Amino acid sequence: MKAETEAGAVVTATAAPPMIELTQLELHLASAGGEVNILRGLDLRVEAGETVGIVGPSGSGKSTMMMIIGGLERPTGGSVRVAGRDLAGLNEDALALFRRDKVGIVFQSFHLVPTMSALENVAVPLEFAGRRDAFDRARAGLEAVGLGHRLTHYPSQLSGGEQQRVAVARAFATEPDLLLADEPTGNLDGETGAQVMDVLFDLAERHGTTLLLITHDDELAHRCGRIVRLLDGLIVDGGQPA
């Protein structure tokens, strides 16, 4: 990046790399009926600290793109850089460690570990990170999402909204640089969904977390700083920062 100083001197500075940089991203899957092109060479750049809403019809490739950004799926073409790392060079375990340190994910179906209490669910990523204060932080995280009274409950003993708040607390537990949220209110009623989103936006803002939010809800998408539209495996709008 180049900038001109008041004195007229030209200074060359290396700016922080983008949080997400997808280049010509492709994903083709072979199926009985022939090859299916899920992503067809899309480009996306998201800067650190941005909040980006991803919208598009079902089957447009939103979730697949997010899975690739989270290192949960491998593209068949193009490059993926997240938080300065090229994910192509990472094996499964390196990807797990990368997620542990950099990425939090909130799913539409919550995906809590059903045999663990709320507190344990939130503490797990901290335990993997070797944090000695895992449980204290998990407790604080749950209190922050208003679930301080539900610590020992198992997922099946919690309502949908409560489960998703546990998932949010878990996603933020390691203070990730990037939070991926795939339709986090998709399984919740309007009011409960709104509460969860308030918590999520609030935490993202407080931690300065980059937020990538997949949603069908226009109103929700508009709470983000930028909206990216996908159609048929391509980004048709908002692929680059304004």
Partner 1 sequence: MTDDSCSGLAGWRLALRLARRELRGGLAGFRILIACLMLGVASIAGVGSLSQALLAGLAQDAREILGGDVAIRIVHAPAGTAELSWLDEHGAVARTIEMRAMALADTTAGGLTLVELKSVDDAWPLYGNLTTTPALPRAALFERRDGAWGAAVEANLLDRLGAGIGDTVRIGEARFQIRATIDREPDRAGGAGLFSLGPRVLIAGDALPDTRLIRPGSLAYYHYRIRLTDNADAHVWTRALEKAFPDAAWRVRTLDNASPQLQRMIDRTTLFLTLVGLTALLVGGVGVANAVNAYLDGKIAVIATLKCLGAPSSLVFRIYLLQILALSLAGIAAGVALGAAIPLVAADLLQGYLPVAARIAIYPQPLIAAALFGLLTAVAFAIWPIARAGEIPAASLFRNLVVPARIRPPPAYIAATATAGLALAALAIVTSRDAAFAAWFVAGAAAAMVAFRLAAAGTMALARRIRGIRRPGLRLALAGLHRPGAPTASVVLSLGIGLTVLTAVALIQGNLSRQITEELPADAPAFFFIDIQPDQIAPFEALLSSIDGVGKIEQVPMLRGRITALNGVPAGKAKVTGSRWVLEGDRGITWANAPPPDSPVIAGEWWPADYRGPLLVSIDGEVAANLGVEVGDTLTVNVLGREFTATIASLRAVKWRTLGINFVIIFSPGPLEAAPRMHIAIVHTDPAVETALERAVTDAFPNVSAIRVRTALDTVNGIVASIGTAVRMTAGVTLLAGTLVLAGAVAAGHRRRVYDSVILKVLGATRRNVLTIYALEYGLLGLATAAIAAIIGSIAAWAVLEFVMGIDSVWLSSVVIATGLGCTLATMLVGFAGTWRALGHKAAPLLRSE
Give the torsion sign (CA, 193, 195, 201, 207).
negative
Q: Does 99 bind partner 1 (CB under 8 A)?
A: yes
Out of 116, 144, 151, 227, the residue judged to bind partner 1 by CB under 8 A: 116
Q: Which of residues 135-164 bind partner 1 (CB under 8 A)?
A: 154-157
125 binds partner 1 (CB under 8 A): yes
Please tell me whether residue 77 binds partner 1 under the rule CB under 8 A.
no
Which of 128, 144, 151, 175 contacts partner 1 by CB under 8 A? 128
Minimum distance from residue 181 beta carbon to partner 1 (Å): 12
Q: Does 182 bind partner 1 (CB under 8 A)?
A: yes
Q: Rule CB under 8 A: is residue 186 a binding residue for partner 1? A: yes
Query: Which C-beta is closer to partner 1: that of 6 or that of 35?
Result: 35
Would you tell me which residues interact with partner 1 (CB under 8 A)?
A: 63-64, 67, 70, 72-73, 92-93, 96-97, 99-101, 105, 107-109, 111-116, 120, 124-125, 127-130, 132, 134, 154-157, 170, 174, 182-183, 186-187
